Amino acid sequence: MAAGRTKLPEETSIGVPAMRLERIDHARPLRDQIYAIIRRMILTSEFAPNSIIDEKAIALQLGVSRTPVREAVKKLSDENLVEVKAQSATVVAPIDRRLIREAFLIRRALEVESIGFAAELMTERHAERLEELNLLHAHAIQRERYVDAISWDDAFHRYISEISDLPRLWKAIEISKAQLDRCRHLTVPKPGLAQATLVQHKNIINALVQRDQALSRRMMTEHLEKAYEGIVLFLASANGG
């Protein structure tokens, strides 16, 4: 096994799972829709590490030609989510701890910088929306809807980038954090982790309400670092230490 790659139990799974019924809007770019579908399935481990991405089967199930599927797979390859092997199968990339660390460093740098600008621009309306997003996040956790919980978590962070008046920054963060997201979907059900995230989000809101740039940056740094520490511990456990 290559250094830095973590072998998880699901990596032994080979083959393509039956895709859920997905609605494709043929009036919109097909590649982008198919990319989003496959990407979500990789991040949530519906397509497990090392499982085969059968472009023909996906095209058949979605009722499209192979061309937009191939284009979507190429985009996923650029994000290191799939490995396209010449004259062989395309497979979901194994979880690689080096890529996860790199993703963490990029995310931390961008979000800590962004929240400093958000603190300057914070309003009461912004605070109310962040509280609402944290509440929706809490409800998803309480109901054990962990995919929804991660979506609300992302909405919380994305909204901070919007407050900062740097909305395009989130796109860069979203692409770079894909490797982290694969692990988040595995770790979020662990007892106490999701609840700790809610407390950390509350600390971030309180810092932003004070419009304290330094405190906001510190709270965001602590939040992201604790999430990363949880991922590192999980991978070490999955890999036998």
Q: What is the CATH number of the domain that holds 64?
A: 1.10.10.10
Of 77, 93, 109, the residue that ends a domain is 93
Question: Taking 90 as the threshold, does the pLDDT of residue 84 lie above it?
Answer: no
Question: Taking 90 as the threshold, does the pLDDT of residue 22 lie above it?
Answer: no
Of 41, 60, 93, the residue that ends a domain is 93
Same domain, residue pair 88 and 205: no
Question: Taking 60 as the threshold, does the pLDDT of residue 16 lie above it?
Answer: no
pLDDT of amino acid 88: 75
Number of domains in the chain: 2
Same domain, residue pair 82 and 105: no
pLDDT of amino acid 17: 53
Same domain, residue pair 216 and 149: yes
Cβ burial of 57 (10 Å; 0-12, 13-18, 19+) is: middle
Same domain, residue pair 13 and 71: yes
- Residue 13: band (very low, low, confident or very high) from pLDDT cuts 50, 70, 90: very low
Question: Please, which residues have CB within 8 angstroms of residue 175's CB and are 6 or more apart in sequence?
Answer: 79
Interval 174-196: pLDDT, tens? 988 999 999 988 888 787 888 99
CA distance 12 to 229: 26
Same domain, residue pair 115 and 234: yes
Q: What range does the domain containing 104 cover?
A: 96-238
Q: Which of 3-17, 32-46, 150-164 has the lowest mean pLDDT?
A: 3-17
Per cent of the chain over pLDDT 90 is 68
- For residue 221, give the CATH number of its domain: 1.20.120.530
19-28: long-range contacts at Cβ-Cβ below 8 A with a sequence spacing of 24 or more? 19/58, 19/61, 19/62, 22/62, 24/62, 24/63, 24/64
Interval 124-147: pLDDT, tens? 999 999 999 999 999 999 999 999
Of 39, 73, 93, the residue that ends a domain is 93
pLDDT of amino acid 3: 43
For residues 153-171, average pLDDT: 93
Same domain, residue pair 89 and 179: no
